[in-house]
Amino acid sequence: MSKNKIIGAAIEVFSEKGYHRASMDEIAARAQVAKGTLYYNFPGKSQLFKTVVKQGFEDIMQRTEADLNSSLPMKEKIERLIRHHLDLFLESRHFSHIVFNEISNGIEQDVLDDLKELKRTYLGFLARIIEEGKCEENLVRDVDPHLAAASIIGTLESMCNYYLNHQETYSRGDLEQFAFTMIAQGLFISLE
């Protein structure tokens, strides 16, 4: 329970203050835990930061994987992948701010390396989905699955970042539909 409170507080503090100005003292106070409890769970700020980002991406992979291992048609799988990705960034503005603004802002090299590996894992996961669509259903264009995966993630992250600054202009449904149209028209041979 304390660990989850710490992670929630850390997301807020890292988002508000940035990685370098965030302090472990402030995170402990926000989580309403003793400093000893904080340091018992996370020996340093960089490890806590890595955990915050890693947990967010692992969560999206788990949610997406459950849908993608189902017998849904590929179109529905891609729609759900988009929805889960948007959920990750839109349900937690603080997490979004961290990913969009802090992830490479002078973070220790070992933590950065771990986060890059996590991103590679995630891109590989998406590339396998795209490859499955090419092989099994002959629905996906003959594209390089790794480049397509990177393009999808880049597109979704850019759309989320833009949307978070222009929420009065678009509805969440509009964003989902637009993202699906942009991605599907480039990826699918036919939408029917």
Q: Tell me what pLDDT residue 182 has.
A: 86
User: Which band of pLDDT confidence, cut at 50, 70 and 90, is reported for residue 146?
Assistant: very high
CA distance 39 to 20: 18
Question: What is the pTM assigned to this prediction?
Answer: 0.70
SS (H, E, C) 73-103: CHHHHHHHHHHHHHHHHHCCHHHHHHHHHHC
User: Which band of pLDDT confidence, cut at 50, 70 and 90, is reported for residue 24?
Assistant: very high
CA angle 43, 61, 41 (to 5 degrees): 15
Rg (CA), the chain: 18
User: Which band of pLDDT confidence, cut at 50, 70 and 90, is reported for residue 41?
Assistant: very high
* Concatenated DSSP letters of 18-85: -TTT--HHHHHHHHT--HHHHHHH-SSHHHHHHHHHHHHHHHHHHHHHHHHTSS--HHHHHHHHHHHH
Q: Tell me what pLDDT residue 105 has.
A: 58
- Of the ranges 10-14, 45-49, 99-103, which one carries the lowest mean pLDDT score? 99-103
CA distance 60 to 88: 7
